[in-house]
Amino acid sequence: MPRSDASVSVSVERFFQFALLGLVASGFLAVAGSGYLDLPTIALTTAGLALRGLMVAGFPRFDLSERAVTVITAIYAAFFLLDCFLISRELLAAAIHLAFFLVVMKALTSKTGRDYLYLAAIAMIELLAAALLSIDLKFFLALALYLFFAIAALTGAEIRRSTERAAATTARDGLRRFHARLALLAGFIAVGIMGLTAAMFLVLPRTADAALSRFARHALFPGFADQVNLGLTGAIENDSRPVMHVRIFGDAPPGVLRWRGGSLADFDGWRWANTDARKTRIAVEDGQADLGRKVFERGRRLEYHVAFDAIQAGTLFFAGVPEKVDLSAPYLVRTEGASYSLDYPIPQGFHYDAYSVLESPPGSSPPLYPPPVLGLADRERNLQLPSHLDGRIPALARAMAGPAATDLEQARGIEATLRRDYGYTLQLPKREPADPLADFLFHRKQGHCEYFASAMTVLLRTAGIPARIVTGFLGGEYNPITDLWVVRASDAHSWVEAWIPGFGWSTFDPTPAAPGVRSFAFVTTLGLYLDAAQTFWQNWVLGYDVGRQGALADRMEQGARGIGIRWYDAAAAVEAAWRTSTAAMTRRVTVSIFVSVGVALWIWLAAPPLIRLLRMRRRVKRVRRGQADVGDATMLYQRMLHVLKRQGFQKPAWFTPVEFAATLPHGAMAAAVAEFTSAYNALRFGGRTGAAARLSLLLDEVEKSGVKRPLRYPEI
C-alpha cells in the first residue's frame, strides 16, 4: 500500500513504542541477569513484554478495557496473599512478584503520555535495582542495550511530538528506511558514549572493589559457613554459576583436585555443625601467612592462585595441605578441623596465592614418621553419635567392613560398599523422613554427596574410627582461553576424613560418580567464551586499580616498541627491494599509480551523480507502478523544473506552481505542464496516490514538447 501522511504518523508511533518497550525490556534483563529472580517470574514477565511487542506490531488487535484491568488486578491482589503465605512464604519475594506484575500490566495498558513516562521511570528503577544486585558483565551488556533504547526512545518521542503538532507532514523524500536510519543513528550515539566512557575508564583507575560491590548480591552457599543440612547441597549442585577461578602454576595437577573448605564434627541426625569451635589467629606479615602445618609426607608441591567470583562465606579453599598463603588481609583465622577463614564475608574479586602439598592416599605410601597423634578430646568429639541413632546402623557398618582387620581396611570396605550398592541422585525425597540417614541407608538407597558422606562418617564412628565430614568443591573445568580452572557451584561436594593410625586424617569419598550429562560442543565452547569474558570483566573492570593501569601501560609500551622494531625492519626491507628494482618496473609502478589515481578521481566525481541518477530511475519505476508517496511528487516536480530550465523557462521562487504554469506560452508544453501541476497538487497536498502514474507520463510529454525560448517575468 502507498504510504500517506497518516501512515507516516503510524510509522513514527510504532518506532517510539518499540523503543520504549526495549527500554523496559533491557531494564528487566539487567535484573534477571543478576540471578535474583525466579524462573516463573522471568517466564511470565518475558511473555507479557513479548505480547506487548506483538500488540505494537499490530498482530493481536485487542485492548484491555479498564474493567478487565480492574478484575485482573483484584485477582492478583488475592493471589498476592496466597503467594506471601503459601507459595513463596516470603514477603520480599511476593513483593517482587507483585512489582513485575505491575510492570507487565502497565506495559500492556499504556496509551497516554503519562503512561509512557511511567514506563520510562520503571525502566530506570529496574536498572538501578540491577546495579545494586549485580556488577558483572551481564549488567554491562544490559546497560549498553538500555543506553541504545534510551536514545532511540528520546529521538522517537521528539519526532512523535513534532508530527503531532504539525498540521501536515512535509518531508522531502518521505520516511523510507526511517526505522533503520534512526536505529543506526541511535546505535552510533550509544557506541560513541560507551567509547568515551571506556576512554575515561582507562584514564581514571579505581580501587580494587567496585563502587557498588558492597551492595552487590552474592550467592550464599550453606555448608561452607557454619553448618550443613542434609538436602541443601543437592539444590546447590543444580547451580552452574562460577564460584572461583584458579590458575595453577607449573605442570597440570595429577588427577582431580579437591578444594577443601571446612570440616564439621557435630551431627544431630539432620545437621552437621561445629558447636564449640576453637579459633586461632595467624598473623599475615608482608602479605604472607605461614600456616605452620607440619607436613610429614613427601608429596608434590602445588602453587596456585585463587580468585573468588560469587560466594559469601569467610572460608578459604585449598588443595591438599596448605603451607603458606599470600593475601591482602591483616590475619587469618584457623578453626578446629584445619579450616582457614576470614572474620568477614569474602568480597567478590578477593584473591590469594597458596602453596600446598598434595597428600598421598594411605596405603600407597609408607606410614608417616614420627606418626601423628590425635588428642583425647578430638578423638571423643569425632566419635560422637546422634542420640536417636537407628539400631541397625552398627550392624550395617560391620557388614560393610567385612573381615577387615585394620582401621584402613574397614574404611576402604565401607567406602567401596557405598559406592557400589547405592545410587547417586540430586532429587530430594518427596516427603521429609523422620530419620533422613536411616531412610537413605535402608530404604531409599540413593542421594547426593551429603548423604553418602554423612552415612560413611556415622558408620566409621560406630566402628570406633574417628571421622568427620568435609565440605568444599571437587574438580572444576579447564578453560583454555584464559588458562584458568573454573570451579562452579555445581562442583560443590562433601567427603569424609577419617583418622587412620600412622597416616593421620585421610581422605575418603564414598559418593559414586554422577551420571554424565550430554552437552553440545557448541554450547560448551560458548560457555567457555562467556566465562572468559566474565573473567576479563572481573579483572580489568571491577579490579581495575593503579597496579593494573600500570600493567596495561607497560604492555602498551612493549607492544609499541615491538611494532616500532617490526616497522623499522619492514621499511629497511622495502628500501632494499626498491633499490634493486629495475627502471622499467619503476615506470610501470608510476604508470599504475597515475592510472589508479585517475580512476579513483573519476569515481569520486562521477559516482554521486550516477548514484542519484540510478536512485531517480528506481523511484520513477516505482511511481509508474503506482507505489508513490509525497516525497516522490516533490522529486518529479523538481525534475520537471529542471527540464523546463534547460528549455529556457525558470520558475521564480516567489511563484506558486499554478502561477508558474499560467505564465508559459500556449501550446502542447504549457498544457502538459498545467496538467502536471494539477496532478502534482493532488498527490502532494491531497494525498491522492492514483495521480502518481500520470505524473511520470506527463513528465515525458513535457520533455518532448519543449520550445527553446526564454520567458521574462516581471520583477516584484
For 197-238, the pLDDT digits (tens) are 665 555 544 443 444 343 333 333 433 556 777 755 444 455
Which helix (H) or strand (E) covers residue 174, if one does?
none
Q: Which of 135-144, 287-296, 398-407, 522-531 has the highest mean pLDDT?
A: 398-407
Least trusted range by pLDDT, from 218-227, 329-338, 356-365, 509-518: 218-227
Given this model, what pLDDT does residue 337 score?
79
Whether the model clears a pTM of 0.75, i.e. scores above it, the answer is no
Strand, coil or helix: what is 305?
strand
Q: How far apart are CA 235 and CA 629, in angstroms?
A: 62
Q: Which of 300-304, 346-350, 413-417, 594-598 has the highest mean pLDDT?
A: 413-417
- Average pLDDT score over residue span 553-577: 57
Given this model, what pLDDT does residue 38 score?
79
Share of the chain above pLDDT 70, in %: 67
Given this model, what pLDDT does residue 212 score?
38
Phi-psi category of 48—alpha, beta or left, where left has phi over 0 and alpha has psi -120 to 50? Answer: alpha
Given this model, what pLDDT does residue 65 score?
77
Given this model, what pLDDT does residue 412 score?
93
- Average pLDDT score over residue span 613-633: 64
The answer on pLDDT for 466 being more than 80 is: yes
Q: Which of 93-97, 123-127, 321-325, 414-418 has the highest mean pLDDT?
A: 414-418
Averaged pLDDT of the chain:
75
CB atoms within 10 A of CB 378: 16
Given this model, what pLDDT does residue 470 score?
92
More confident residue, 584 or 629: 629
Per residue in 670-708, is it b (16+ CB within 10 Å) or e — as a string? bbbbbbbbebbbbbbeebebebbbbbbebbebbbeebee
Q: How far is CA 456 from the centre of its chain?
A: 41
* Listed residue (135, 337, 317) closest to 244, CA to CA: 317
Separation in Å, CA 442 to CA 390, 455, 579: 10, 11, 91
- Say if residue 597 is exposed, middle or buried (CB neighbours under 10 Å; 0-12, 13-18, 19+): exposed
More confident residue, 321 or 253: 321
The answer on pLDDT for 143 being more than 60 is: yes
* Listed residue (361, 391, 296, 394) closest to 498, CA to CA: 361
Q: How far apart are CA 366 and CA 141, in angstroms?
A: 56
The answer on pLDDT for 565 being more than 60 is: no
Do residues 230 and 458 lie in contact, with contact meaning Cβ atoms separated by under 8 Å?
no
- Say if residue 328 is exposed, middle or buried (CB neighbours under 10 Å; 0-12, 13-18, 19+): exposed
The answer on pLDDT for 167 being more than 50 is: no
- Average pLDDT score over residue span 106-126: 84
Least trusted range by pLDDT, from 331-340, 405-414, 457-466, 525-534: 525-534
Residues belonging to the chain: 716
More confident residue, 8 or 174: 8
Q: Which of 75-79, 608-612, 709-713 has the highest mean pLDDT?
A: 75-79
In this prediction, residue 579 has a pLDDT band, given cuts at 50, 70 and 90, of low
Find the distance separating the first CA and the last CA of the chain, reported in whole Å: 44
pLDDT per position as a tens digit, 280-328 = 888 888 889 988 765 445 567 889 999 887 666 678 999 988 989 999 8
